[in-house]
């Protein structure tokens, strides 16, 4: 399967679930910002969760099917449109060769993931297909997608993907009745971000901790795949101590020298020297990935045990989805 990029959009990169094995050499995790949407897009075409997808930022992009293609999409940055018809998300979509598919704006969020049956084929760099733009490696030639780029899929399909394809293959657009319910995995109140308090919490005065847990923070313009700067009540350290650089990870919330909050995201550095007030619960990190400059959020505290339970429950739910799709086809 093959597509060509007609319009690349603001920032479109190849991502998978990240590059974890080289953190000690300061190679960032990278990978899909909204890992949930990335995985659901993959699941909908029968792929492995770690197969490479295209991460689109906002809309204003389009591509052409150079061969018949079996794709799916998920996320909140855009809707797929074909022949002026809105395409359903989290569902396998079969398009004949020559189809032109556009992305139009979805006001809810920022990032959308496009999966293809078999996964997008790019070389593995340090055991991952994720793009890390700062150092220019991984993904499609280490860069963001450009006009006229041609992307191909891995030609070896697993049993589920092959079966989905053989049931949908036609001369025109086809898709099945079923879809994955992404809504059922997401909390109702999306501006409420659950956090676990971090190691340096007692470096901050009580008023600061209170404002962190009750105040409203908004996403600053200086926000990207490395991290989100937040504007809101500044936090005050009550100790003079400085933190010696130590490992940080996507979801870590740092407090800068001026007292501002930064949520570290997929492309963040592997170590940092700012004190940490909390980390975002892994299950809520996909919500953060969809935040746009100007959006407001509030934090609510949960315990480390709760965060772990939520994570394990989420993984269980995701494995049930995979199982349900396989059972449908095998």
Question: Could you list the residues that contact another protein (CB under 8 A)?
Answer: 20-28, 125-126, 134-135, 137, 196, 198-199, 244-249, 251-252, 269-271, 279, 281-282, 304-305, 307-309, 311-312, 315
Q: C-beta of 28: minimal distance to another protein in Å?
A: 8
Is residue 146 a contact partner of residue 131, using CB atoms and an 8 Å limit?
A: no
**Nearest residue (CB) to another protein, 69 versus 200:** 200
Q: Which is nearer to another protein, 63 or 299 (CB)?
A: 299
Q: Which is nearer to another protein, 69 or 262 (CB)?
A: 262
**Between residues 6 and 318, which has the closer beta carbon with respect to another protein?**
318
Min dist. Cβ of residue 154 to another protein (A): 21
CA distance 34 to 288: 8
User: What is the dihedral angle through the alpha carbons of 297, 299, 302, 303, rounded to the nearest 10 degrees?
Assistant: 120
Q: Which is nearer to another protein, 234 or 241 (CB)?
A: 241
Q: Report how far residue 57's alpha carbon sits from residue 205's, in angstroms, rounded to the nearest whole number.
A: 38
Q: What is the DSSP letter of 243?
A: P
With contact defined as beta carbons under 8 Å apart, do 12 and 54 qualify?
Answer: yes
Least spacing, CB of residue 215 vs another protein, in Å? 23
Q: What minimum distance in Å lies between the beta carbon of 166 and another protein?
A: 32
Return d(Cα 182, Cα 186) in angstroms, integer. Answer: 7
Of the pair 10, 135, the CB lying nearest another protein is at 135
Evaluate whether 95 touches 71 at the Cβ level (below 8 Å). Answer: yes
- Beta bridge mates, 61: 103
Residue (of 36, 15, 1) closest to 164 by Cα position: 1
**CA–CA gap between residue 28 and residue 49 (Å, rounded):** 20
Phi, psi of 132 (to 5 degrees): -120, 100
**Residue 310 Cβ, how far from another protein at the closest point, in Å?**
8
CB 77 within 8 A of CB 57: yes
CB of 257 to another protein, least distance (A): 15
What's the min distance (Å) between Cβ of 103 and another protein? 31
- 304 vs 16: CA distance, rounded Å: 26
Closest to another protein by CB, 49 or 66: 49
């Amino acid at each position: 399967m093959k597509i060509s990029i007609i319009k690349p959009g603001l920032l479109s990169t190849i991502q998978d679930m990240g590059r974890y094995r080289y953190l000690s050499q300061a190679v960032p995790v990278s990978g899909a910002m909204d890992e949930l949407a990335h995985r659901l897009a993959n699941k909908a075409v029968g792929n492995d969760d770690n197969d490479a997808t295209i991460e689109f930022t906002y809309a204003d992009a389009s591509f052409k099917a150079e061969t018949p293609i079996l794709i799916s999409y998920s996320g909140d940055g855009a809707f797929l449109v074909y022949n002026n018809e809105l395409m359903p998300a989290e569902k396998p979509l079969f398009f004949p060769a020559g189809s032109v598919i556009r992305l139009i704006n979805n006001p809810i969020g920022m990032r959308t993931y496009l999966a293809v049956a078999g996964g997008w084929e790019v070389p593995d760099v340090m055991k991952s297909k994720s793009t890390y733009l700062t150092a220019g490696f991984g993904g499609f030639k280490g860069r963001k997608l450009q006009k006229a780029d041609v992307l191909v899929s891995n030609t070896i399909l697993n049993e589920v993907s092959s079966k989905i394809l053989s049931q949908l293959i036609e001369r025109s657009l086809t898709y099945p009745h079923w879809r994955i319910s992404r809504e059922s995995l997401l909390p109702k109140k999306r501006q409420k971000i659950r956090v676990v308090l971090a190691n340096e919490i007692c470096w901050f005065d009580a008023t600061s901790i209170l404002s962190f847990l009750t105040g409203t923070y908004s996403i600053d313009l200086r926000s990207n795949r490395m991290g989100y700067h937040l504007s809101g009540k500044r936090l005050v350290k009550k100790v003079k101590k400085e933190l010696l650089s130590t490992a940080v990870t996507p979801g870590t919330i740092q407090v800068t020298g001026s007292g501002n909050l930064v949520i570290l995201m997929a492309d963040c550095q592997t170590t940092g020297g700012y004190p940490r007030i909390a980390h975002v619960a892994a299950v809520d990190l996909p919500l953060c990935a969809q935040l746009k400059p100007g959006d407001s959020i509030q934090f609510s505290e949960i315990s480390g045990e709760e965060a772990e339970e939520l994570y394990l429950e989420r993984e269980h739910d995701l494995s049930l989805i995979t199982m349900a799709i396989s059972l449908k086809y095998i």
